[in-house]
Structure 1
Amino acid sequence: MERPTPLRRESVPTEDEVRALIAGAGAQPFRDLLTALWETGCRPHEVITLEADRVDLDATFRLVLNKTRGKTGARDRRVPINDRVAEISRRLCTQWPTGPIFRSRDGNPWTRHAITWRFKRLRDGLGLSAGLTSYGLRHLFGKASLKAGNTSSETAALMRYRDARMVDRPYGHWDDQDEIVRKAARRVRPGEATPPGGPDHQER
């Protein structure tokens, strides 16, 4: 039987939706988890399995379990973190020196099922889009990286993909973002306000 080609993810949350989700998340533990997912672009399991002994706050990075460790033999991969995530990590490492540092209000490590349920409850309660999922935050990170001017290769390195093709297919679609296209055009032809043959061009 021929395997069908996966459909491209079309529903991507906006940054405003993520801010609304974090603001409405209630308890601090889930806000910490949401912030870590949003600010690092990590896969959900990379965050919920993170332990204190794999966090290097002085060098501002974290070692998370490598998704492909069975194939590559590399157990961990480095994830750079910003000041906000470093502060959260520092606080949680002190609170939970052994075992996963991201835990629910009851002190239990987060599970995929618990995260999915919390996302759905918050989405329904706040009237947010179905694209607002734990993986949707990773998808938004990839889009934001490209929008900020990072190349596909740089974004792939940040998100720890094998190559740029794994970024271009799911994240590199800009047909709905005119400003991105205009900036790209100006980098190619910086002195031209409108492309040759545009609306102001007339046949001589």
Structure 2
Amino acid sequence: MRQPKPWFRKQTQCWYVQIKGRQIKLGPDRDAAHAEFHRLMCQPSRSSEPVAARSLIARYIEWMHQHRAESTSANRQPILESFSASLPKGLTADELRPFHVLEWLNPELGPTTRADRITLIKTVWNWGVSMGYVTSNPVARIPKPSRKARQDFVPRGRWKELLDAATDQPFRDFLAMMLLTGARTQEMLVFSAEHYDGKRFVLPIEMSKGRKRSRVVYLPSEARAIVERLVAEYPEGHLFRNARGEPWNRNSVRLRFRRIKKLLQMPGLCATTLRHSYAHDRLSCGQDALTVAKLMGHADTRMIATRYGHLEQNADFMQDAANAAALGGIAADQPDRKEGLA
């Protein structure tokens, strides 16, 4: 068997070693890293009880609540609990096989949802490897269905029709804010007066998607007017609430969209559609992709280019863009000329 040996990774400027399939970070200092390596190699080999698959999921959920955004944890936990309940009680984490995952997935789910859930299970077992609970990820090579890109958006010409379809002011406020700001649904569900600084919503890092930077949602004047009215009404707690004064949640929002999409005959309409509508509107108005990406909380333009833009569906915009490449008449018909010899 090949003897483990420390190596230096330039990207992180740290030393690492892999022992029994587990990659261990030794630190940036060479001497200290090698000392730690020798300490690890001198430790007596100890047999340990294999971790149960259900236990691994429970440990990941506990870790997730400490290291991931609250909205992310709330979304992932019921999915993971459902998968855990589907597993045989005595199954160890190392004994998990692809068929356990594929048989658990509901075939009626769309390809994007199925792909997301497969990715989540892979994430848990990858985390288990990094923590030393398992030696390898037995489901790392499960094929995922191709994601179906969301094609639905509401063009600006139908925004008034959409807002008029709301039967009460609270839901109309919710719709208007998403159209005016491009905020994520999970952000709309947690906004409170303490996040409003007079011009913007600023969510702290621990409440922001990815927990890498504070999420800033810039508010145009119409949006600020809505927010200031709600701040006066709800100085504490959630700002966006239904007609009964209860905070919106994913289920209540989903039910309202279910009604409204039938009324407007938009079968693909949902809260995320409004975020797509914001991106399409901003790009169609000539705003550059990087600015739109930053306004929507993305680090770069990749998501705008691949998921949100929908510019190819706006034939007039694409034609105007093509017309901008005109040669200014220099290619107009001219009398033929014979080429002379030099």
Matched, 1:37 2:178: yes
Amino acid of the structure 2 residue aligned with 1:146? L
Report Cα offsets for 1:141-160 as digits up to 9, x if no partner: 11111111112211111111
Amino acid of the structure 1 residue aligned with 2:231? C
Provide TM-score, normalisation by structure 1.
0.84
Residue 103 of structure 1, CA deviation = 0.6
Q: Runs of 5+ in structure 2 lacking a partner?
A: 1-141, 337-342
CA distance in 2, matches of 1:190, 1:171: 31
Q: Is the 8 A contact 1:186 1:192 kept in 2?
A: no
Match of residue 149 from structure 1: 286
Q: Is the 8 A contact 2:151 2:310 kept in 1?
A: no
Match of residue 18 from structure 1: 159
Structure 1 counterpart of 2:191, from 50, 59, 62: 50
Residue 30 of structure 1, CA deviation = 0.8
Q: Is the 8 A contact 2:289 2:301 kept in 1?
A: yes
CA distance in 2, matches of 1:153, 1:92: 31
Ranked by relative contact order (alpha carbons within 8 Å, sequence separation 6 or more), the top structure is 1
Amino acid of the structure 1 residue aligned with 2:261? R
Residue 190 of structure 1, CA deviation = 6.4
CA distance in 2, matches of 1:135, 1:192: 45
SS at match of 1:130: coil
Report Cα offsets for 1:28-77 as digits up to 9, x if no partner: 111111111111000011112001011012xx1111341111xx2x3x31
CA distance in 2, matches of 1:178, 1:184: 10
CA gap 1:201/1:136 in 2 versus in 1, 3 angstroms: farther
Q: Runs of 5+ in structure 1 lacking a partner?
A: none
Residue 173 of structure 1, CA deviation = 4.1
CA gap 1:45/1:188 in 2 versus in 1, 3 angstroms: same
Q: Is the 8 A contact 1:48 1:111 kept in 2?
A: yes
Match of residue 62 from structure 1: 201
Residue 17 of structure 1, CA deviation = 3.6
SS at match of 2:313: coil
Q: Is the 8 A contact 2:284 2:311 kept in 1?
A: no
Matched, 1:184 2:325: no
Match of residue 94 from structure 1: 232
RMSD: 2.3
CA distance in 1, matches of 2:327, 2:314: 19
CA distance in 1, matches of 2:307, 2:333: 36
Residue 186 of structure 1, CA deviation = 3.9
Larger Rg: 2
Match of residue 274 from structure 2: 137
Provide TM-score, normalisation by structure 2.
0.52
Residue 5 of structure 1, CA deviation = 2.4
Q: Is the 8 A contact 1:102 1:110 kept in 2?
A: yes
Matched, 1:8 2:149: yes
Amino acid of the structure 2 residue aligned with 1:176? Q
Identity %: 29
CA distance in 1, matches of 2:173, 2:215: 21
Misfit runs of 4+, over 6 Å: none
Q: How many corresponding residue pairs?
A: 192
Amino acid of the structure 1 residue aligned with 2:190? T
CA distance in 1, matches of 2:228, 2:325: 44
Amino acid of the structure 2 residue aligned with 1:112? R
